[in-house]
Structure 1
């Protein structure tokens, strides 16, 4: 802690130009100090745990000398709250939807590079869902779910030859849920895409999974 305090004191005595510029651009606000070991592109997604704290900026756009520590600073962790807080039916994914999703994302990454290690993944927004069903012929007031899909936006850190922080969308579709022996699942991991785009794609994908492949043109 002493070394950290001494370093920050040196920063205050001779603040780097980029810190001065950020302070000038945020009068009356604050400027975050970010641990570069926990991020990829400095202009990309920054997990909250990577923020060591913030320098307080006075109304004149200059550093006040006050530094507020981030109590959550440290190695970033998984965050699936946007999924688990949803009341949507997820039993089709399995008994542990969080682990199933994490394993599926890991499989996508290792499919590209067998040495890839998923450090952490965070769900950024409430997932979007689609469900298809038919009426139960024996019970007019009940339905039988035949297909289901979800798509979610994420940020994740993956380490192979180097650490990268990626963002995008992950989608999962399962069909023939009423015929477990013939069930078919398909997943997609689309980098640098947004949730609205993925939701539109999901509306098509949920009806494409399980269809026979088109005959090649002669």
Structure 2
């Protein structure tokens, strides 16, 4: 359900005789009801839904009755990775062991395969602006610069993982990576967290603690 009406190509169709659809329309006059491609969202239609999984939507009239207009999503299809909100951050990423997108995606995939050997990360999307926390120490004699000692990033995500038996699960939550001892590589420590069904506000508060929980040495 949506209060807005997407600007997609429209056609006239006969709405299905579905009591649930009719009830949704009656409860949301002037809006629209999305049609979700169940093959792309696994077994939980109430979980995270990528934009590509929306086949289209039925337009609702101001009287709460389906108008017979159907707006078809031109981007409907197989979901793909989207790390735009991560790469758009003005952040110093050299503390990570590699390019940020590949490194974070690879770490998430490793966590998933540790849980289910043979699982495949089909796609991953950063769903909101990540949260970054950093801490440093002053350089003697230079009040304008700091030496980076610890940092971390919390990345809100939605993703699809397929098990070896063919089952697809859509997961959402926040992936967090924190590192300390960055000023002394011999004593550097890293730790990751995978918090399912957690929003970025909660994970952002936890991040401020977690960058200090990573033990050095």
Please indicate, yes or no, whether the TM-score normalized by the shorter chain is above 0.5: yes
In 1, the alpha carbon distance for the partners of 2:101 and 2:15 equals 47
Higher helix proportion, which one? 1
SS across alignment from 1:77? coil
The count of residues paired between Structure 1 and Structure 2 equals: 203
Q: Aligned residue for 1:30?
A: 32
Q: Aligned residue for 2:178?
A: 173
Alpha-carbon deviation of 1:143?
Answer: 1.8
SS across alignment from 1:199? helix
Q: Aligned residue for 2:193?
A: 188
After superposition, the CA RMSD in angstroms is 1.9
In 2, the alpha carbon distance for the partners of 1:82 and 1:44 equals 21
> Counterparts in 2 of 1:65-80, with a 5 A limit?
65-80=68-83
Q: Aligned residue for 2:120?
A: 117
Runs of 4+ in 1 over 6 A off after TM superposition: none
SS across alignment from 2:108? helix
Alpha-carbon deviation of 1:109?
Answer: 0.7
Alpha-carbon deviation of 1:122?
Answer: 1.4
> Counterparts in 2 of 1:59-98, with a 5 A limit?
59-98=62-101
Matched, 1:17 2:19: yes
Contact 2:151 2:211 in 1 (8 A): yes
Contact 2:189 2:216 in 1 (8 A): no
Structure ranking higher on relative contact order (CA contacts 8 Å, 6+ apart): 2
SS across alignment from 1:135? strand
How high is the TM-score relative to the length of structure 2? 0.85
SS across alignment from 1:65? strand
13 and 119 in structure 1: CA distance in 2 versus 1, 3 angstrom threshold: closer
Q: Which runs of 5+ in 2 are unaligned?
A: 1-11
SS across alignment from 2:62? coil
In 1, the alpha carbon distance for the partners of 2:16 and 2:32 equals 18
Q: Aligned residue for 1:47?
A: 50
How high is the TM-score relative to the length of structure 1? 0.85
Alpha-carbon deviation of 1:78?
Answer: 1.3
In 2, the alpha carbon distance for the partners of 1:67 and 1:140 equals 61
In 1, the alpha carbon distance for the partners of 2:116 and 2:141 equals 49
Q: Which runs of 5+ in 1 are unaligned?
A: 1-7, 213-218
In 2, the alpha carbon distance for the partners of 1:13 and 1:133 equals 60
Larger Rg: 1
